[in-house]
């Protein structure tokens, strides 16, 4: 068993044995960047750690009734999902490099890709990405590779979280990022047309928009294609059980956050980015693609193909180091979609939409509460305009057991009184009525 140095004195002793010192070990780190006198408490026993974590967990409020959305949604997850993905042959995130040893996992990835293609009405999908935000960035990078252009238009009805990530990723890449202002909860066609030219690689929109409004972006796709640009659509997958698909709108690349496909809403994940595209662009797609083939005896088999990492081809031709940690999340979404089936997904989407519609009508009965975008259709999320600060209302309702929604002022300064409310199939009529009552007495 190897010796592990647990204290600074033990570490110093080990370094002295090889004729070195701690200061030499960290010599490459500038003095002003080194941590001084870390106040780290002594270690705990396993029992003490368990007690400490149990105490912290007890401070949470698991019975909170949630109307939070903004890209991450509280959907019901059938017990069979965890039962299946917890089987030992599936319970790994690691990449199946040896196909002869990994036919089950490779087939699961292949079926996941097929499900994403059917869901989005596209022709090819990869074996998953990290999350919805990085998937959108990867789609932008893909469009730059395909077109050889450097300008990208992103509407501000795209998730502000995703747009912040895109700014971070592209800040030093020499990309001209244009963010257009939305109008009435949807992408403003005139604004996009004003910035669209023959140097534009792609136009990126979201449907439903971050404000929950449903759109048909077919005309934007047509505008983009006339000038040789690509159309990127970020989608909420559950909405595709009811709404027009990105493929039917003419999208070239479709991405989205897959958390709603069987993954619980936790603080920080796990999340899942999905991506699908037209077959003509498949070689520019990042990550891995699982394919179905036959061996020398004509027997069906599954393999990884079109691997685009720097390990597999020359570094300058690599697309992205998307690799290991999303395999289990992709399997989760496949199991979830398989359990629901086509009709089940349609029923779920309709259930969400109908409950959101009921909630909207019920909340509008409250005095001085109105819809921010009254002329737009919404899926399961909408923006309420309150007579007082949305932040203040949210704090009051937290004390009464409700996560009332998302205060849009955090990303849109002009929306101080705007509350983004999401309703999923888990919210009952009684919960919605109680939420409306508590909101009424809190404003």
Q: What is the pLDDT of residues 4-47, one digit of tens each?
A: 555 667 877 888 888 888 778 888 999 888 877 778 888 889 99
Same domain, 140 and 189: yes
Residues 292 and 412 in one domain: no
- Specify if 436 maps to a domain: yes
Tell me whether residue 36 is in a domain. yes
Owner of token pair 């972006």:
217
Q: Which residues, including other chains, have CB under 8 Å from residue 339's CB and lie 6 or more apart?
A: 78, 80, 81
Give pLDDT, residue 1: 43
How far apart, in Å, are the Cα atoms of 277 and each of 48, 124, 394, 425? 51, 5, 39, 30
Contact (CB, 8 A) for 277 and 123: yes
Q: Are residues 165 and 278 in the same domain?
A: yes
188 backbone dihedrals φ, ψ, rounded to 5°: -85, 110
Assess whether 117 and 42 both reside in one domain: no
Together in a domain, 283 and 346: no
Q: Which pLDDT band holds residue 281 (cuts at 50, 70, 90)?
A: very high
Instruction: Please report where in the chains the tokens 């997850």 appear, as a residue.
Output: 77
Whole-number average pLDDT of the chain: 91
Tell me what the mean pLDDT of segment 321-338 comes to: 83
Q: pTM (2 decimals)? A: 0.87
What's the pLDDT tens digit per position in 114-148?
Answer: 999 999 999 999 988 999 999 999 999 999 999 99
| pLDDT in the model for residue 222 | 98
> For residue 434, what are the CA distances in angstroms to 49, 226, 402?
39, 51, 10
Contact 419, 406 (CB under 8 A): yes
Residue range of the domain that includes 265: 79-336
pLDDT at 317 over 90: no
* Claim to verify: residue 368 and residue 285 sit in the same structural domain: no
Select from 305, 336, 367 the last residue of a domain.
336
Residues 24 and 70 in one domain: no
SS3 385: strand
Structural domain includes residue 117 = yes
Higher-pLDDT residue of 430, 60:
430
Domain boundary among 336, 367, 388: 336
Cis preceding linkage at 208, omega within 30: yes
Of the pLDDT bands very low, low, confident and very high (cuts 50, 70, 90), residue 325 is low
Name the nearest CA neighbour of 372 among 111, 217, 184. Answer: 184
Q: Which of 174-183, 206-215, 289-298, 434-443 has the weakest average pLDDT?
A: 289-298
List CB contacts of 338: < 8 A, sequence separation 6 or more.
111, 115
- Mode of pairing for the β-strands spanning 402-403 and 65-66: parallel
CATH number of 185's domain: 3.40.640.10
Encoded tokens for 234 = 């970020």
Distance CA 136, CA 126 (A): 14
State which of 336, 371, 397 marks the end of a domain.
336
**Residues 241, 367: one domain?**
no
What percent of the chain is predicted at pLDDT more than 90? 72
Kindly provide the b/e burial profile for residues 309-333, where b requires at least 16 CB atoms within 10 angstroms of the residue's own CB.
Answer: beeeeeeeeebbebbeebbbbbbbb
The residue-averaged pLDDT of 287-298 equals 90
Same domain, 350 and 432: yes
Predicted confidence at residue 7, as pLDDT, reads 66
SS3 content of the chain, % helix, strand, coil (to 5): 40, 15, 45
Percent above pLDDT 70 for the chain? 93
Tell me if 60 is assigned to some domain: no
Give the residue, 213 or 92, on which the prediction is more confident.
Answer: 213
Are 91 and 237 part of one and the same domain?
yes
Residue 108 shares a structural domain with residue 245: yes
pLDDT of residue 310: 53
For residues 418 and 324, state if they share a domain: no
Pairing mode, strands 406-407 and 418-422: antiparallel
Strand, helix or coil for residue 311: coil
Give the count of domains, the chain: 3
What is the pLDDT at residue 21? Answer: 81
Q: Please report the pLDDT score of residue 316 as a whole number.
A: 65
């Amino acid at each position: 068993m190897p010796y592990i140095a647990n204290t600074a004195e033990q570490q110093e002793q080990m370094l002295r044995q090889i004729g070195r010192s701690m200061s030499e070990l960290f010599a490459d780190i500038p003095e002003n960047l080194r941590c001084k006198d870390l106040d780290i408490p002594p270690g705990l026993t396993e029992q003490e750690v368990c007690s400490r974590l149990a105490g912290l967990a007890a401070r949470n409020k698991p019975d909170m009734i949630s109307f939070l959305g903004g890209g991450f949604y509280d959907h019901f997850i059938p017990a069979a999902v965890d039962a299946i993905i917890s089987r030992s042959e599936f319970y790994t995130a690691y990449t199946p490099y040896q196909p002869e040893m990994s036919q089950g996992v490779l087939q699961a990835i292949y079926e996941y890709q097929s499900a994403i293609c059917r869901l989005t009405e596209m022709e090819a999908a990869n074996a998953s990405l990290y999350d919805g935000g990085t998937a959108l960035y990867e789609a932008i990078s893909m469009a730059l590779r395909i077109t050889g252009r450097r300008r990208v238009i992103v509407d501000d009805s795209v998730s502000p979280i995703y747009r912040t990530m895109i700014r971070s990723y592209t800040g030093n890449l020499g990309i001209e990022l244009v963010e257009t202002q939305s109008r009435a909860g949807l992408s403003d066609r005139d604004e996009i047309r004003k910035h669209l030219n023959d140097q534009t690689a792609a136009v990126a929109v979201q449907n439903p928009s971050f404000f929950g409004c449903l759109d048909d972006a077919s005309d934007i796709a047509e505008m983009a294609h006339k000038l040789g640009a690509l159309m990127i659509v970020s989608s909420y997958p559950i909405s595709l059980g009811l709404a027009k698909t990105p493929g039917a709108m003419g999208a070239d690349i479709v991405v989205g956050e897959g958390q709603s496909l069987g993954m619980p809403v936790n603080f920080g994940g796990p999340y899942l980015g999905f991506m699908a595209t037209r077959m003509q662009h498949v070689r520019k797609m990042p990550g891995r693609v699982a394919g179905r083939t036959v061996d020398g005896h004509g027997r069906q088999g599954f393999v990884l193909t079109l691997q685009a990492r720097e390990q597999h081809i020359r570094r300058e031709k690599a697309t992205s180091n998307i690799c290991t940690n999303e395999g289990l999340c992709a399997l989760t979404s496949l199991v979830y979609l398989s359990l629901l089936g086509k009709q089940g997904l349609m029923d779920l989407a309709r259930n969400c939409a109908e409950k959101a519609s009921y909630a909207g009508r019920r909340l509008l009965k409250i005095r001085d509460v109105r819809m921010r975008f009254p002329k737009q259709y919404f899926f399961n999320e909408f923006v309420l305009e309150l007579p007082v600060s949305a932040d203040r209302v949210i704090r009051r309702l937290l004390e009464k057991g409700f996560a009332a929604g998302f205060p849009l002022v955090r990303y849109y300064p002009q929306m101080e009184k705007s509350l983004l409310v999401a309703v999923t199939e888990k919210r009952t009529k009684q919960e919605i009525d109680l939420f409306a009552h508590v909101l009424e007495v809190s404003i």
